[in-house]
């Protein structure tokens, strides 16, 4: 009894794989799930080297784990997390640690932290990214909150994390719900990049009429250069996959995509913080748009456009598409990282963005070579408000903007939907505008509502009796 190093509640794909990862790193791991089938199948998968015990009995589970206990919850966000905590509490003691490893909304973590602190239980949220393979062989993990509790478990997390240049993709990120917040924004960026890739794919197919082999090989090639990243890599794999009849599987997959909410939360909270993240907003909107298939079928019949025939050489098209995707992906990271900067101040997280970009370099869904450039940018200037202000990043954007503008013009003329790409360019153009036309908006507000306005030539607020 009480000999296991770590416990996991929830033996779904993530929980079970993380538990196997822990056991493969020579830590004894106990698992709890109410579903007997999940418990049995985990027990069967464990090999002789693994010290694993899985059970459906919460009391027995608690008795297996060394005191003070370390228990991670990997259950769906929301009520299931509260229920899991409630079922554990009668079997826990002061000093025990509960870690929420799910995609929990950050304010829930703040609430649970306070509730559990009253009972002497340490609680912290830790976003985990990498999907099922990541969980099994090395995820990126984003812990925040109770630092002492994290420090006690650091050896386990560092052992099971993905490694980049020998450095583990896990590090304490900051106070309170910092871990969940960073994971939420990670997912917002994930939504943005997935949307951008899908728009580029559409442009290749319906815009420049590239054949399926060329499209697939292009993604494979892109993964060898500046665009090297997990999402580009899997796109190459996906486009290669054949269905049972030998045709490409992608063409049989419906064009509406579900979402669990983390992208929407990122957008919603960015609006609360007044941080512009338009590429992420567009990605959320486009998933919603994708769901209205019957309406889109109707609309396609009446909202027509006769696109001009534009002849572009395939090699030129591919080169411009590459620049466009690279440009827009940089802008998406810039938006997410700027959101983290503001959130850190607002919620007192004390985030260090060099650390965040460092642990995103491996294991997680948005891992990409370009993260190392961001890490360097924050290492050079920890107070950088936006990575677009780093001269190396700025150069990459100015070098790729001509291709981006060409592709966007082409898509507009073709009538193809590219909300993610357009919003990325719009963000860039607004951000680099010393003067915006917002003076007119100030004047309009004062005109109809006497909301006052500020002037560029004198301090204070002004109101004018506008001439009707």
**By the 8 A CB rule, do 393 and 387 touch?**
yes
417 binds ligand 6PG (CB under 6 A): no
Helix (H), strand (E) at residue 128: strand 122-129
DSSP state of 309: P
Binding mask 30-69 for ligand 6PG (x = CB under 6 A): ----------------------------------------
How far apart (Å, rounded) are the C-alpha atoms in residues 192 and 358? 20
How far apart (Å, rounded) are the C-alpha atoms in residues 262 and 456? 40
How far apart (Å, rounded) are the C-alpha atoms in residues 362 and 229? 10
Residue number closest to ligand 6PG, CB atom: 129
Question: Which residues have C-beta within 8 Å of that of residue 14, sequence separation ≥ 6?
Answer: 74, 101, 128, 132, 135
283 binds ligand 6PG (CB under 6 A): no
Judged by CB under 6 A, which stretch of 62-70, 142-150, 157-165, 258-266 contacts ligand 6PG? 258-266
Among positions 142, 184, 329, 364, the unique one binding ligand 6PG when judged by CB under 6 A: 364
Of 208, 146, 205, 214, the C-alpha closest to 178 is 146
**By the 8 A CB rule, do 287 and 259 touch?**
yes
133 binds ligand 6PG (CB under 6 A): no
103 binds ligand 6PG (CB under 6 A): yes
**By the 8 A CB rule, do 397 and 330 touch?**
yes
130 binds ligand 6PG (CB under 6 A): yes
**Helix, strand counts (H, E) of the chain:** 19, 11
Give CB contacts under 8 A, 24+ apart, made by 148-152. Answer: 148/122, 149/97, 149/99, 149/122, 149/123, 149/124, 150/124, 150/126, 152/68, 152/70, 152/97
Residue 190 is a catalytic residue: yes
Catalytic residue, chosen from 38, 183, 264, 322, is 183
Question: What SS3 state is found at 173?
Answer: coil
Tell me how far, at minimum, the Cβ of 361 lies from ligand 6PG, in Å. Answer: 14
85: Cα separation from own chain's centroid: 26
190 binds ligand 6PG (CB under 6 A): yes
Judged by CB under 6 A, which stretch of 107-115, 123-131, 153-161, 243-251 contacts ligand 6PG? 123-131
Residue 53 is a catalytic residue: no
How far apart (Å, rounded) are the C-alpha atoms in residues 384 and 369? 20
Among positions 24, 55, 109, 129, the unique one binding ligand 6PG when judged by CB under 6 A: 129
Tell me how far, at minimum, the Cβ of 104 lies from ligand 6PG, in Å. Answer: 11
Tell me how far, at minimum, the Cβ of 209 lies from ligand 6PG, in Å. Answer: 30
Kindly tell me which of 187 and 344 has the beta carbon lying closer to ligand 6PG.
187
260 binds ligand 6PG (CB under 6 A): yes
Residue 311, burial from CB neighbour count under 10 angstroms (0-12, 13-18, 19+): exposed
Catalytic residue, chosen from 171, 190, 199, 233, is 190
* Pairing mode, strands 163-164 and 140-143: unpaired
15 binds ligand 6PG (CB under 6 A): no
Among positions 262, 266, 406, 423, the unique one binding ligand 6PG when judged by CB under 6 A: 262
88 binds ligand 6PG (CB under 6 A): no
187 binds ligand 6PG (CB under 6 A): yes
Among positions 43, 259, 268, 386, the unique one binding ligand 6PG when judged by CB under 6 A: 259
Among positions 20, 22, 365, 407, the unique one binding ligand 6PG when judged by CB under 6 A: 365
Kindly tell me which of 50 and 186 has the beta carbon lying closer to ligand 6PG.
186
Total site size for ligand 6PG, rule CB under 6 A? 12
How far apart (Å, rounded) are the C-alpha atoms in residues 384 and 299? 45
- Active site amino acids: 183, 190
Binding site residues, ligand 6PG, CB under 6 A = 103, 129-131, 187, 190, 259-260, 262-263, 364-365
């Amino acid at each position: 009894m009480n000999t296991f190093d770590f416990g996991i509640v929830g033996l779904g794909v993530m929980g079970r794989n993380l538990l196997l990862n822990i056991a493969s790193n020579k830590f004894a791991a106990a698992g709890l799930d109410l579903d007997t089938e999940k418990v049995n199948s985990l027990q069967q998968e464990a090999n002789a080297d693994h010290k694993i015990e899985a059970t459906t009995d919460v009391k027995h589970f608690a008795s297996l784990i060394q005191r003070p206990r370390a228990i991670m919850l990997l259950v769906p966000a929301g009520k299931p997390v509260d229920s899991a905590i409630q079922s554990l509490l009668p079997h826990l003691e002061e000093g025990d640690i509960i870690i929420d490893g799910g995609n929990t909304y950050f304010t829930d973590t703040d609430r649970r932290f306070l509730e559990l602190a009253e009972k002497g239980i340490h609680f912290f949220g830790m976003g985990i990214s990498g999907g099922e393979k990541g969980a099994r062989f090395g995820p990126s993990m984003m812990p925040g909150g109770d630092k002492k509790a994290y420090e006690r478990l650091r050896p386990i997390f560092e052992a099971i994390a993905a490694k980049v240049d020998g450095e583990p993709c896990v590090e304490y990120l900051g106070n309170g719900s910092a871990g969940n917040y960073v994971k939420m924004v990670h997912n917002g960026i994930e939504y943005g990049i997935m949307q951008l890739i899908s728009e580029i794919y559409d442009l290749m197919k319906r815009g420049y009429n590239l054949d399926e082999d060329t499209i697939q090989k292009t993604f494979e090639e892109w993964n060898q250069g500046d665009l090297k990243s997990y999402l580009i890599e899997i796109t190459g794999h996906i486009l290669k996959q054949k269905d049972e009849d030998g045709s490409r599987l992608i063409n049989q997959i419906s064009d509406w995509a579900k979402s669990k909410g983390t992208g929407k939360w990122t957008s919603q909270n960015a609006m609360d913080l007044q941080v512009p993240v338009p590429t992420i907003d567009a990605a959320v909107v486009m998933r919603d748009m994708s769901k209205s298939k019957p309406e889109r079928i109707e609309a396609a019949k009446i909202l027509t456009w006769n696109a001009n025939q534009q002849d572009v050489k395939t090699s030129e098209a591919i080169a411009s598409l590459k620049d466009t995707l690279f440009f827009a992906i940089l802008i998406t990271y810039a938006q997410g990282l700027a959101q983290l900067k503001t959130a850190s101040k607002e919620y007192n997280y004390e985030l260090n963005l060099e650390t965040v970009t460092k642990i995103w370099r491996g294991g997680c869904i948005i891992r990409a070579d370009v993260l190392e450039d961001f890490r360097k940018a924050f290492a050079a200037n920890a107070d950088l408000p936006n990575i677009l202000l780093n001269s190396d990043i700025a150069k990459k954007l100015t070098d790729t903007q001509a291709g981006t503008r060409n592709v966007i013009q082409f898509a507009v003329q073709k009538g193809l939907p590219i909300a993610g790409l357009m919003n990325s360019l719009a963000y860039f153009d607004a951000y680099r505008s010393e003067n915006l036309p917002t003076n007119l908006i100030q004047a309009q507000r004062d005109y109809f509502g006497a909301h006052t306005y500020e002037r560029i030539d004198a301090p204070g607020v002004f109101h004018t009796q506008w001439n009707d």
